[in-house]
Amino acid sequence: MLSHEDVKIPETTAFDGRWYSGNQGNVDKWAPEMRAYAAHLQNGGSEKETPFVYRYVGALVGDFHRTLLFGGIWLYPPDSSAPEGKARLLYEVAPMGFMAEQAGGMATRGGLALQRVVEVTPEHIHQRSPMFVGSKSMVVGLQRFLAKKAEA
């Protein structure tokens, strides 16, 4: 069922689309730079304005759908218990990445969130992968944040 026609992920501005999502229950298992990024969003991001709104239902499709409609970023980083990520590349990450790009957003993976998920050649059918998906401005902001952390 088509709920909306011609879905476009809104760009994040100071007034709308300031959403982020990710399993904060696992934040202690995330890499230090990802924990720092979550704290960065909780503190209002680089604009030093009101904090980003955190929303997480724990259902991949529901969280992704909200990101498609309202913008922001959805974080699914690897963690110490799942260093390759938890979502399956072929039937979760790549299809969602494709939809995000068709809607004008971005979907990446990797230590600095630089690799497009749609460019990954799977090594096996159940390969797992992290993913960062959402408004282009938010994913690019994550890439810049991680690059600065890597330089430090």
List the CATH number of the domain containing 76: 3.40.190.80
102 inside domain: yes
Nearest to 141 by CA among 15, 25, 18, 22: 18
Q: How many residues does the chain have?
A: 152
32 inside domain: yes
Contacts of 116 (CB under 8 A, 6+ apart): 97, 101, 106, 107, 108
Nearest to 20 by CA among 66, 60, 80, 61: 66
Residue 67's CB is within 10 A of a number of other CB atoms, namely: 27
| pLDDT recorded at residue 13 | 62
pLDDT in tens, 47-69: 567 788 888 888 888 899 999 99
Q: How many whole angstroms separate alpha carbon 72 and alpha carbon 75?
A: 10
Domain count, the chain: 1
9 inside domain: no
76 inside domain: yes
Is the pTM higher than 0.75? The answer reads: yes
Q: Per-residue pLDDT tens, the chain, 152 aa: give them.
A: 778 889 999 887 655 658 899 998 999 999 999 999 999 998 876 656 778 888 888 888 889 999 999 899 999 999 999 999 999 999 999 999 999 999 999 999 998 899 999 999 999 999 999 999 999 999 999 999 999 988 87
Please answer whether residues 80 and 26 qualify as being in contact, where contact means their C-beta atoms are separated by less than 8 angstroms: no
pLDDT in tens, 116-136: 999 999 999 999 999 999 999
Please answer whether residues 131 and 95 qualify as being in contact, where contact means their C-beta atoms are separated by less than 8 angstroms: no
Domain containing 117 equals 19-151
Q: What residues pair up with 20 in beta bridges, in sequence order?
A: 54, 73
10 inside domain: no
146 inside domain: yes
7 inside domain: no
13 inside domain: no
